[in-house]
Amino acid sequence: MSRCEIEASHLFYSYPDGHEAIKDISFTISRGESVGIIGANGSGKTTLLFLMMGILFPDRGEVKVGDVPVTKKTLATIRRRLGMVFQDPDDQLFMTTVFDDVAFGPRNFHLDENEVKTRVEEALEMVGIPHLKDRALYKISGGEKRAAAIASVLSMKPDVLLMDEPTSGLDPKARRQLMNVLKGFRHTKVITSHDLDMVLETCDRVIVLKDVENGVKIPNITG
Amino acid sequence: MPKIADSIYNIRLLDDLARKNTAIHRLHPVSKLLATIVYVIAVVSFHRYEIVGLLPFVFYPLVLILLAELPVMPILKRLLWVEPLIIGIGILNPLFDPKGWITFASIMIKSGLTVTACLVLVSTTGLDKIAQALRTLKVPSLFVLQLLLTFRYLAVLIEELARMARAYTLRAPRQRGVRLKDGGPFVGQLLLRAFDRAQRVYEAMKLRGFHGEYHAYGKSKMTRKDILFLLAWSLFFMTARILNIPALFGLLFEGGSRG
Amino acid sequence: MMHMADALISPAVGGTMMAATAGLAAYSIKKVQNDLDDQKIPFMGVMGAFVFASQMINFAIPATGSSGHLGGGMLLAILLGPYAGFLTMASILLIQALFFGDGGLLAYGCNVFNLGFCTCFVAYPLIYKWITRKGLTSRKIFGASMVSAILGLQMGAFSVVLETLCSGKTELPFDTFVLLMQPIHLAIGIVEGLITAAVVTFVWKARPEILERAAVGKTLGGISMKKVLAGILAAAIVMGGFVSWFASSNPDGLEWSLERTAGTAELKASGGVHDLLANVQSKTAFLPDYNFKTATEDETNRYAGTSVSGIAGGALTLGLAGLTGWMIRVFKKKKAKIAP
């Protein structure tokens, strides 16, 4: 029986202006699963990720990561296990070089500098951009920035990766590279996207956000 | 608004140059920073009629530019555009003093020397290492981190601005610049976008464990070479300041021609 | 813009302003750290980038055919509060000094003071906050922005005058300088005020919570009046010391303008301080040297290179520099050949 990694029960969330974004959503995600979240713009995909990360808190309902509920007090633990990659890499890559950015997380854990270096190199290796280690961030392409953003989260060794529209704005080659990288990850993955082909290729299962309450299970596609 | 493109180009150029790998680039940033400061203090402490005594100070930027293989043209170009305040004040000197032209020349030379020294510092060190140097000199990490963030997002915001400016001028072809009336929404939009981005950056930082203090910028120790660099040049600057070397040469010349 | 440059100041003035700025910065950092809202840092960074970028926008001023630019000090104070605003202005100026040579390293302290302190710690709390103390309306925003921008810039411009005069690197007498600086900066201040007002009004209408948040993060409406007054008094004392020191060695310029306003008796009364300061000055090599009246014609010519020996000495120095440069290039080329 696979362990439950993330469990959301009866989530409700409304924006400050009153618009109800999430209406009674429940789902479970098992360890090692790749789940895609799809839906129209404005359907609440990013909001759902924010609720899982504890950036937003639900008006009603609860999110549990492992057995730990996501509350203000448990944020530090939660954020060690979950890593989120934002839609716009520029929001996430805020240091001046790739190395410093990927090192930001580990350094905040107060690891010693050698350990930090190892982690950075491993993370960059995993996303295929070890050669960009000392590059200035304004000098790399969109696809490379995406990879760097993912690396900046990987260096913290999370169990779960949350990704918000990872292939948006990428050219075909970069997109293909990213998809290959994602397929190689053994982390539990939650990916929001409009890119249905990518979701089909990389995800075991899909949650569709419409006016539906529960996720719809799509059988595994092999080959 | 050509100034926008020029500024980005300028910043990127200097930042690129800073990533080269020459002996000068490898020097510890603290020694370069302090050497530059001593240089500026020495140059600036000359009185207003000094011209000849300033000349030995040409050695420092000259040697560094050559050893660090820096391109001379961009620096010269930058020198040509002098701060309007300096020109304004400088030009008025002759009106109040028969020897005012000398003051003007002195100011111009001092300006050229100090600006060049600054540019040489940045192009051999880069903002990252200067930030490191500041931290070593005990500047609080709040200021340094914030400085790096400003620099990082400069390019992003300037690019957004360039896009907005292009869109604007395409629809207002006969105007030069943004009308004051449009200034509010124009700048305001940029501001709101910047504000939202700041919000997201904050979240990204929190998610990676940030809670106000950020300590590691990779410290390195100063070697003997670095200390020697600083001490040797500082000694030269002080000597040149106190002794007025060209005047001494001149005296020799005078003495020789009489004998 | 009215950036002070290294070439116009003396080490003494530069050093003093640097110390003053460092003190203000340390105080501001403490204040920002204590303000539990650690959101400030990314905001300071991104807003700093925003103001830097905005400074490049060309605003067409109607009916004059010329253009104006934004300084940003007031805007930063309004959006981030005075402490964070001050620090952000400081980092903008540092990047400008390093990458553009706008204002130098030594003049950095002066620039942060002129463009940061005068706006964030004087114009903002005393004028803007006071006018808007009972809430925001379009009119109040406009009025507050205009007045604080104009006065803030006037104060900054005046500081430039004082700093330059105290440094003694130029001949300009006090009143000419003032007559030059203040009107120009009045015009600049008006443009700044208009832009600031327009932007703040836009933000207030589009996303008022931004302004509200900036307002909430402060204690008791900003800085207490007592502290500000104490600060101004201290600054006045320091300024007074400088002015009298300057007057002691260059009596003509300042005395002349002072005579016209206050009468010679004023100067004589502070004789004790003058003499002390003049003594200190004559003993330290790095302080500005005003004593040209006593320098011989010969000496001046040598300094200025207008005599034979001056020219010869200068030429020899430049020749040595050229030779050194040539030698370095040869050396480098040889190295490149050996190790490709």
Count of the separate structural domains present in chain A: 1
Tell which wins on pLDDT, C224 or C233: C233
Judge contact between C110 and C14, C-beta under 8 A: yes
- Identify the closest residue of chain B to C94 by CA–CA distance: B147
User: The tokens of A190 are what?
Assistant: 């939650």
Whats the size of chain B, residue-wise?
259
- Mean per-residue pLDDT of chain C: 73
Instruction: Please say if the pLDDT value at position C218 is more than 60.
Output: no
Establish if A143 belongs to a structural domain.
Answer: no
**Coil, helix or strand for C264?**
coil
CB contact under 8 A, A96 and B19: no
Tell which wins on pLDDT, A52 or C302: A52
**Domain map (residue ranges) of chain C:** 6-223, 298-338
Residues of chain B where predicted confidence (pLDDT) is lower than 70: 1-3, 82-83, 173, 176, 215-219, 253-259
- Identify the closest residue of chain A to B131 by CA–CA distance: A96
Q: Chain A contact for B212, CB < 8 A?
A: no
For residue B68, give how far its alpha carbon lies from the nearest alpha carbon of chain C (Å): 10
Q: Chain A contact for B259, CB < 8 A?
A: no
- Identify the closest residue of chain B to A102 by CA–CA distance: B208
CB contact under 8 A, B207 and A103: no
E-strand stretches of chain C: 59-60, 67-68
Q: What angle do CA B53, B59, B60 make, to 5 degrees?
A: 110
What pLDDT, on the 0 to 100 scale, is given for residue B106?
A: 85
CB contact under 8 A, C6 and B176: no
- Percentage of chain A modeled with pLDDT above 90: 37
What range does the domain containing A18 cover?
4-94+158-209
Residue B111 φ/ψ, nearest 5 degrees: -60, -50
**Mutation target vs A (from B152, B153, B203; most A CBs, 10 A cutoff):** B152
Closest residue to A156, CB basis, from B197, B201, B208: B208
Positive or negative, the CA dihedral C279, C282, C285, C286 is positive
What pLDDT, on the 0 to 100 scale, is given for residue C319?
A: 82
Q: What is the pTM of this model?
A: 0.79
Instruction: Please say if the pLDDT value at position C249 is more than 70.
Output: no
What pLDDT, on the 0 to 100 scale, is given for residue A98?
A: 93
User: The tokens of A45 are what?
Assistant: 């995909």
Tell which wins on pLDDT, B78 or A11: A11
Closest CA to A52 of A30, A70, A29: A70
Q: Chain A contact for B207, CB < 8 A?
A: yes
What pLDDT, on the 0 to 100 scale, is given for residue A220?
A: 39
Q: Chain B contact for A115, CB < 8 A?
A: no
Instruction: Please say if the pLDDT value at position A87 is more than 80.
Output: yes
Q: Show residues of chain B in contact with A55, CB under 8 Å.
A: 203, 207
What pLDDT, on the 0 to 100 scale, is given for residue B171?
A: 79
**Coil, helix or strand for C265?**
helix
DSSP-assigned states of every residue in C151-204: HHHHHHHHHHHHHHHHHT-S---HHHHHHHHHHHHHHHHHHHHHHHHHHHHHHH
For the ranges A98-102, A136-140, B20-24, B82-86, the maximum mean pLDDT occurs at A98-102
How many CB pairs below 8 Å do chains B and C form together?
372
Instruction: Please say if the pLDDT value at position A163 is more than 90.
Output: yes
């030594």: which residue's tokens?
A: C106
Q: Chain B contact for A67, CB < 8 A?
A: no
Q: Show residues of chain B in contact with C79, CB under 8 Å.
A: 191
Task: Read off the pLDDT band of A188 (50, 70, 90).
Answer: very high
For the ranges A30-44, A201-215, C16-30, the lowest mean pLDDT is seen at A201-215
Establish if A218 belongs to a structural domain.
Answer: no
Q: What is the pLDDT of residues C57-76, one digit of tens each?
A: 877 776 666 677 788 889 99
Instruction: Please say if the pLDDT value at position A35 is more than 90.
Output: yes
Instruction: Please say if the pLDDT value at position C103 is more than 70.
Output: yes
For chain C, list the contacting chains (3+ Cβ pairs, <8 Å): B
Judge contact between B43 and B113, C-beta under 8 A: yes
For chain A, list the contacting chains (3+ Cβ pairs, <8 Å): B
Judge contact between A81 and A153, C-beta under 8 A: no
The 8 Å CB, 24+ separation contacts for B9-14 are B10/B74, B10/B78, B10/C99, B10/C100, B11/B154, B11/B155, B11/C99, B12/A138, B12/B155, B13/B74, B14/B119, B14/B122, B14/B123, B14/C99
Q: Show residues of chain C in contact with B124, CB under 8 Å.
A: none
What pLDDT, on the 0 to 100 scale, is given for residue A121?
A: 95
Tell which wins on pLDDT, C63 or C45: C45
| Average pLDDT value for residue range C259-287 | 42
| Average pLDDT value for residue range A147-165 | 93
Instruction: Please say if the pLDDT value at position A106 is more than 80.
Output: yes
Tell which wins on pLDDT, B253 or C303: B253
Closest residue to C198, CB basis, from B111, B183, B190: B183
- Identify the closest residue of chain C to B77 by CA–CA distance: C100
CATH of residue A55: 3.40.50.300
Fold entry, domain C6-223: Arp2/3 complex 21 kDa subunit ARPC3 (1.10.1760)
CB contact under 8 A, B128 and A138: no
Q: Chain C contact for B231, CB < 8 A?
A: no
DSSP-assigned states of every residue in A122-179: HHHHHHT-GGGTT-BGGGS-HHHHHHHHHHHHHTT--SEEEEESTTTT--HHHHHHHH
- Rg over alpha carbons for chain B, rounded to the nearest Å, is 23
Task: Read off the pLDDT band of C259 (50, 70, 90).
Answer: very low
What pLDDT, on the 0 to 100 scale, is given for residue C215?
A: 63
CB contact under 8 A, B209 and A91: no
CB contact under 8 A, B188 and C328: no
Closest residue to B148, CB basis, from A55, A84, A96: A96
- Identify the closest residue of chain C to B175 by CA–CA distance: C60
Establish if A89 belongs to a structural domain.
Answer: yes
For residue A94, give how far its alpha carbon lies from the nearest alpha carbon of chain B (Å): 6
What pLDDT, on the 0 to 100 scale, is given for residue C272?
A: 47
What pLDDT, on the 0 to 100 scale, is given for residue B117?
A: 92
Instruction: Please say if the pLDDT value at position C94 is more than 90.
Output: yes
Judge contact between C314 and C302, C-beta under 8 A: no
Q: What is the pLDDT of residues C122-169, one digit of tens each?
A: 888 888 888 888 778 888 888 888 999 999 988 988 888 888 888 877
Q: Work out the number of other CB atoms within 10 angstroms of the CB of residue A36.
A: 25
What pLDDT, on the 0 to 100 scale, is given for residue A185?
A: 87
For residue B220, give how far its alpha carbon lies from the nearest alpha carbon of chain C (Å): 22
How many CB pairs below 8 Å do chains A and B form together?
67
